[in-house]
């Protein structure tokens, strides 16, 4: 149990960021979220490149719907990857939380 209400709030906030799942689910989430993120980002660049005619089109020639779609795909891929990093298994911890290793940097 923590000593202060602030410590309790910090512990709840830290636990709310991570989702503890079985190892099999963790592997599936990691593989598929990385795959989707890569596909979304690559598709976003292709669509954005197409909308701007390889970044050579005049502003009046840019297709705004494709440009917005490309940026949306880039943001979507980034969001998928960012949220997938919240999953962990029971035995996993964050390296910054472990203090059993020496902290010599040289």
Q: pLDDT digits over 41-59, tens only?
A: 999 999 999 999 999 999 9
CA distance 19 to 105: 31
Residue 13 has pLDDT above 70, yes or no: no
CA distance 40 to 78: 8
Tell me the pTM. Answer: 0.70
CA distance 55 to 49: 6
Percentage of the chain beyond pLDDT 70 is: 73
Report pLDDT for 32. 97
Instruction: Give the mean pLDDT of 49-71.
Output: 94
């Amino acid at each position: 149990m923590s000593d202060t209400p602030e410590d309790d709030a910090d512990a709840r906030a830290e636990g709310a960021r991570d989702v503890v799942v079985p190892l099999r689910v963790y592997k599936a989430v990691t593989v598929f979220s990385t795959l989707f993120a890569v596909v979304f980002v690559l598709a976003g660049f292709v669509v954005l490149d197409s909308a701007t005619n390889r970044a050579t089109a005049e502003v009046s020639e840019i297709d705004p719907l494709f440009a917005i779609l490309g940026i949306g795909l880039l943001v979507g891929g980034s969001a998928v990857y960012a949220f997938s990093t919240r999953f962990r298994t029971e035995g996993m911890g964050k390296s910054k939380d472990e203090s059993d290793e020496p902290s010599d940097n040289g």
